[in-house]
Amino acid sequence: MSPPRWPSSIYGSGREPDPRFSLANERTFLAWIRTSLALLAMAAAVDALPLQIDERAQAAIAAVLALTGLAAAGHAWRGWVRTERAMRLDLPMPGNAAGIVVVVGVALSGVLLLAASLLRA
């Protein structure tokens, strides 16, 4: 007998989907985690490097990047759960509106950096 899989709230319901689809769902989860880690690394770099911009602007850029990274990590888990549950229960696949959060966060960081750079000049 195989050991129980976690989370049992997902694996304990419905029927086992085609492994190819479950593995594709896991790859999507990992892609979101990589994006999250990259955003958090950028936040740490912006915070740590001696940039030639106002300290408040630098802190704001780092904060926006960090919050966007945390949102991406949260979406990674939520998206995996929703998709796995939909596959197991033969429900329609859920939508993915979280990509806009990452786009807005990165764009806002870019605008803040551009504005801080222009104000310094």
Residue 74 pLDDT > 70: yes
In this structure, the number of other CB atoms found within 10 A of the CB of residue 72 comes to 24
pTM: 0.87
User: Closest Cα partner for 17 from 83, 77, 106?
Assistant: 83
User: Which pLDDT score is estimated for 119?
Assistant: 87
In this structure, the number of other CB atoms found within 10 A of the CB of residue 94 comes to 13
User: Which pLDDT score is estimated for 1?
Assistant: 63
Q: Could you read off the pLDDT of 19-44 as tens digits, one per residue? A: 999 999 999 999 999 999 999 999 99
Average the pLDDT over 15-20 and give the result. Answer: 93
User: Which pLDDT score is estimated for 11?
Assistant: 87
User: Residue ranges of the alpha helices (H) in the chain?
Assistant: 8-11, 19-48, 55-88, 99-120
Percent of the chain predicted with pLDDT > 90: 80
